[in-house]
A = this chain, B = another copy of it.
Amino acid sequence: MVYIRYILGTMPKSITRTYSRYSLDATALLGGLIRTARKERKLTTQEVADRAGISRGLLQRIEKGDLKCEIGAVFEVATIVGVKLFEADETTLSRHLSQTRDKLKLLPKSVRKKSRAVRDDF
């Protein structure tokens, strides 16, 4: 079976994205914590990558703090090497989760802007 995968097209234009210092630092910190925890547990990059079901290259990028990695892969690796997210263990996390869901129910379902400026012209 043959599958049509490619045709002719125009030159692609790449998109660059900007990040705040806080996001950069947070991702770098998480990556560093993962790398530290992995070494303390004496696990090789290949072992952790296998357990997480990802490639060794992706694990390297995660440990470097690459902002373009998918969050599921990052969190999965963090879990495997024992880095706590939100500084919460499994039970605390799920409790916090349901609390957040309850809180959301109480908030308005959509945010509405003031339609016009307040009438102060009288």
Chain A contacts to B: CB under 8 angstroms: 1-12, 17-23, 25-30, 32-33, 35-36, 38-40, 42-44, 53, 67-76, 78-79, 85-87, 90, 93-94, 96-97, 100-101, 103-104, 107-108, 110-111, 113
The listed residue (B5, B23, B25, B93) touching A76 by CB distance below 8 A is B23
Contact A5-B1, Cβ < 8 Å, known A27-B71, A111-B43: no
The reply to whether B6 and A85 contact each other, CB–CB distance below 8 Å, is no
Q: Could you say which residues of chain B place their CB within 8 Å of the CB of A76?
A: 19-20, 23
Cα A108 to Cα B39 in complex, Å, equals 8
Are the CB atoms of B79 and A23 closer together than 8 Å? Answer: yes
**Complex CA distance for A71 and B11, rounded to whole angstroms:** 28
